[in-house]
Amino acid sequence: MKPTLGWYLHRARAMSLNELLFRFQHELRKRRWRHEAARDMDGSPPLADCKSIRQEPIALHLPLEHAEARALLAEADSYLRHEWHFFGLSGVTEQPINWHADPTSGVIAPAKFAFDINYRDPSVVGNIKVTWEKNRHHHLTVLAVAYALTKNERYSAEVADQILDWVRQNPYLIGVNWNQALE
């Protein structure tokens, strides 16, 4: 589903001179990033052990018997099993998590320079909204709160493991998760 020359001409006519200049400069910047990403792929420094920098969380005053606490812990336990709960998904799991995969279709976006991936083509990336939602890591806050409530290390270890796994699977500018801002 690659845009045609006519599509590009129509888009260019709709832009101001300033926007055309900005987009041209942005394309040059992406080309420079592509070369930097290719150069950095070989000599990446090892990942730091983020578990060693963990600080004590603020204590929460919510009894574990409280219905809200039980619901939060049940949700946290589902995230330990890598179940996703967004966009109406229920019980969709990934073992192990592939940060480039759409768990609803099974399509895995290619691990290549981010701006070379057509994220608008579902045959290439699946449902990109689902993939990107998973990569926003909102579920990690539930795991962090579960740790704050229980002091159970499996919750904090899962947060650290998922962050380190994301970093390993998403080298700088490689993959669909670098294509758009994910907060």
Same domain (yes/no): 32, 66: no
75, 36: one domain: no
Judgement on whether residues 67 and 38 belong to the same structural domain of the protein: no
Q: Is the peptide bond preceding residue 96 cis, with omega within 30 degrees of 0? A: yes
Pair 82, 29 in one domain = no
Does residue 47 carry a pLDDT above 70? no
Per-residue pLDDT at 105 exceeds 80: yes
Residue 49 has pLDDT above 90, yes or no: no
Looking at the fold, whether 8 and 65 belong to one and the same domain comes out as no
Is residue 7 one of the residues assigned to a domain?
Answer: yes
Which pLDDT belongs to residue 40?
57
Share of the chain above pLDDT 90, in %: 52
Is residue 117 domain-shared with residue 87, that is, in the same domain?
yes
Specify whether 118 is located in the same domain as 179: yes
14 and 90 share one domain: no
Note the pTM of the prediction, 2 decimals. Answer: 0.72
Q: Looking at the domain assignment, is residue 50 inside a domain?
A: no
> Which conformational region is residue 4 in: left (phi greater than 0), alpha (psi within -120 to 50 degrees), or beta?
beta
Closest to 108 (Cα-Cα) out of 80, 131, 92: 131
Answer yes or no: do 33 and 99 share one domain: no
Transcribe 155-179 into DSSP letters: HHHHHHHHHHHHHHHS-TTBSGGGT
Tens digit of each residue's pLDDT (9 = 90 or more) over 118-172: 999 999 999 999 999 999 999 999 999 999 899 999 999 999 999 999 999 999 9
Look up the domain containing 114 and give its range: 59-183
What pLDDT does 67 receive? 85
